[in-house]
Amino acid sequence: MISSESGTTAVSKVGFKRKVAAYVSLTKPRVMELLLAVTVPTMFLAQEGIPNLWLVLAVLIGGMMSAGSAGAFNCYIDRDIDRLMNRTKGRPLVTGEVSDREAIVFAWVLAVVSTLWFWLFTNLLATSLSVSAIAFYVIIYSLVLKRRTPQNIVWGGAAGGFPVLIGWAAVTGSLTWTPVVLFMIIFLWTPPHYWPLSWRYREDYKNANVPMLTVVRGRVTVGLQIVLYAWATFAATLLLVPIGNMGWVYSAVALVSGVWFVVESHLLYSRALRHEDPKPMRLFHFSNGYLSLIFLAIAIDALLPF
């Protein structure tokens, strides 16, 4: 724990550009990018074409602030374990580029402003979902589950699914089974996406006493869980075809990329069974591309006349 004196000294030496960069880092930009990348295709599908571009811009700006708020709250809550992990030791609250007080004020400001923004430029349902997303990620995942259960990241995936609900609600003012299936795709995709990363940084989580599945269970168990969730994700993407009335572009992409995703998860499991290096980062990187491809296909499908 950095003392308040040393923290103040460190912060006082931070220049303006570096300070701004530190605040941006608190919002977890990479996570934010992924969340916004699934929101726009969802809005195209909800509109069955190109939605109002001003509405898209409003949702993106509001989504950035909402996701950024959740990320900043998470950095504040996890500042103690971040100091123990090599992967997170460069975060602003660890380096002293941002003080604890500055971080929590920043998180609250983003939360309030994002809520007002959604209220002014979208509708009550989208606004409520944005508030719920922040609350779920901060309270349910960060405060309650992350340090208590190896199923933490499973429920963390629920927070990641909120942007598709928000995007759909912003366009239609309601929710149907289609956004629910989109939510399930992201929810089920999150474990086989994140568990490989936590496998790579297993010692970090172990040192920080965070009960990630990769810390408390053996390789074979983790590998099997990844396979099961990969299959469930694949099934959810195919379920969207009848539920969302998807066309041939999405159907083909979901089928081919889904088979590939399942095969990659089985290869990781096979390596774990043979006590070889499971190469978890291979599946991690592939899973990013897989989700992006699925949602790109959703956007393209929504623009086609058939």
Can you give the pLDDT at residue 2? 38
Q: What pLDDT shows up at residue 15?
A: 79
At 116 the pLDDT is 97
**Predicted local distance difference test score (pLDDT) of residue 306:** 64
Q: What are the residues whose beta carbons fall under 8 Å from the beta carbon of 148, sequence distance 6 or more?
A: 211
| Domain 16-149+158-171 bears CATH identifier 3.40.50.150 | no
Sign for the pseudo-dihedral over CA of 90, 196, 160, 154: negative
At 4 the pLDDT is 38
Compute how many other C-beta atoms are within 10 angstroms of the C-beta atom of residue 242.
9
Q: Give me the DSSP letters along 222-287.
A: HHHHHHHHHHHHHHHHHHHHHHTT--HHHHHHHHHHHHHHHHHHHHHHHHHHTTS---HHHHHHHH
Smallest CA-to-CA distance from 294 within 250, 259, 256 is with 250
Measured at the alpha carbon of residue 72, what is the angle toward residues 125 and 5, in degrees to the nearest 5? 150
Spatial distance between the Cα atoms of 168 and 177, rounded to a whole number of angstroms: 11
Angstrom CA distances, 3 to 11, 84, 151, 212, 284, stand at 12, 16, 33, 29, 36
Return the percent helix, strand and coil in the chain, to nearest 5.
Answer: 80, 0, 20
* Spans in the chain with pLDDT lower than 70: 1-13, 306
Residue 11 pLDDT: 46
- The correct answer on CATH 1.20.120 for the domain covering 176-306 is yes
Is the fold of 16-149+158-171 the same as that of 176-306?
Answer: no
Instruction: Report the sign of the C-alpha dihedral through residues 58, 59, 63, 64, in that order.
Output: negative
pLDDT at 212: 87
Tally of residues, the chain: 306
Predicted confidence at residue 6, as pLDDT, reads 39
Q: Cα separation of 293 and 291, whole Å?
A: 5
| Per-domain residue ranges of the chain | 16-149+158-171, 176-306
Q: Which of 165, 160, 68, 62 is nearest to 107 (CA)?
A: 68
pLDDT of residue 68: 93
